[in-house]
Structure 1
Amino acid sequence: MSGTCHLVSCVGMKLHRAAPARDLYVSPWFRMARRYAETRGDIWFILSAEHGLVHPDKVLDPYDRTLLTMPVGARRAWATLVEAQMRDVLPACIPVIVVLAGARYREFLGEPLSRHADRVEVPMQGLGIGKQLGWLKHALAG
């Protein structure tokens, strides 16, 4: 066990019916990020704009909410929710948390993540969506 947890952000492209969270999000980016998380870490969760920290097996109905359009106060409240959920599901401190999520999803999670892990990695930080897809494709290939 490597002691790595991956956090993958939700995406707008979803099924039109309830499904386990791992299957609800259907964009090419999410599918590659999911595969990366499943093959590289011990555990992974989804950062859902609607539900906070979600286990991949949890069945969710489709929703239409994104952090990209939330006011700053709502994003802070979301990060507080995610931190509380992390306390419930993650060990007190794990070696590494890898975040596969954009800036809005990481915006208020820096300190909470640092409290839960010895190291926080954001391997695609600063990359646009096209370069993120390329990074994921390359990482999955080799």
Structure 2
Amino acid sequence: MKRLCIIPCGKKKIWDVIPEVGPTIAKQVYISPFGKACQEYASTFFCTWVVLSAKHGFLFPDDVVDENYDLAFDSKDSKVITGEELYEQMIKKQLIEYDEVVVLGGKKHYRVVENLYPKEKLTFPLQGLKGIGYMLQRLNRAVEEEKEI
């Protein structure tokens, strides 16, 4: 069974700590505790995972992000990637043919992904948890105990 994990980006990025760092690969860009926990979970339980960014769309861990940005899916900014652009990326990056798509993160990302994949393929293991602290705890425990959520 082919499985894909989609993780959220995050507001805190490497440039907030090391402004002069320059272009950086995606897995090193998103440095919030939640972002790091999502990456750890995804890389522990999945062969293929991507970061979903409101600016760049789907980023493989080794895709390069050129510079800092501050953009969220719920903003009204015209720079937010469109559903059409995301779908084009899914084709180009071969993210379509998966039997299961596991989405980590909150409602903003659920809404975006629900418009891209058939509902029967989607799983949201953190859905219903009240706040990022609980999500973080659940992810860390899963990795620690080597038991997928």
TM-score, normalized by length of structure 1?
0.85
Distance 1:78 1:28 in 2: 27
Contact 1:22 1:34 in 2 (8 A): yes
Indicate which of 87, 93, 111 corresponds to 2:97: 93
Choose between structure 1 and 2: higher helix proportion.
1
1:45 aligns with 2:50: yes
Deviation at 1:95, TM superposition (A): 1.4
Choose between structure 1 and 2: higher strand proportion.
1
The equivalent residue for 1:57 is: 62
Contact 1:4 1:96 in 2 (8 A): yes
What are the residue-to-residue correspondences of 1:67-106 with 2, within 5 Å? Answer: 67-68=73-74, 70-71=75-76, 78-90=82-94, 92-106=96-110
The equivalent residue for 1:140 is: 143
Q: Percent identity?
A: 26
| Deviation per residue, 1:101-120 (Å, 9 max, x gap) | 211122132142228xx621
SS in structure 1 of the partner of residue 4 of structure 2 = strand
Distance 2:117 2:138 in 1: 23
Deviation at 1:134, TM superposition (A): 0.9
Deviation at 1:93, TM superposition (A): 2.2
SS in structure 2 of the partner of residue 107 of structure 1 = helix
Q: Give the gaps of 5 or more residues in structure 2.
A: 16-20
Contact 2:55 2:79 in 1 (8 A): no
SS in structure 1 of the partner of residue 99 of structure 2 = strand
The equivalent residue for 1:14 is: 13
CA RMSD between the two structures: 2.1
| Deviation per residue, 1:2-61 (Å, 9 max, x gap) | 521111110001011321010001011111110111111120111011111111111112
SS in structure 2 of the partner of residue 137 of structure 1 = helix
Distance 1:109 1:59 in 2: 22
SS in structure 1 of the partner of residue 82 of structure 2 = helix
The equivalent residue for 1:31 is: 36
Q: Give the gaps of 5 or more residues in structure 1.
A: none
The equivalent residue for 2:132 is: 129
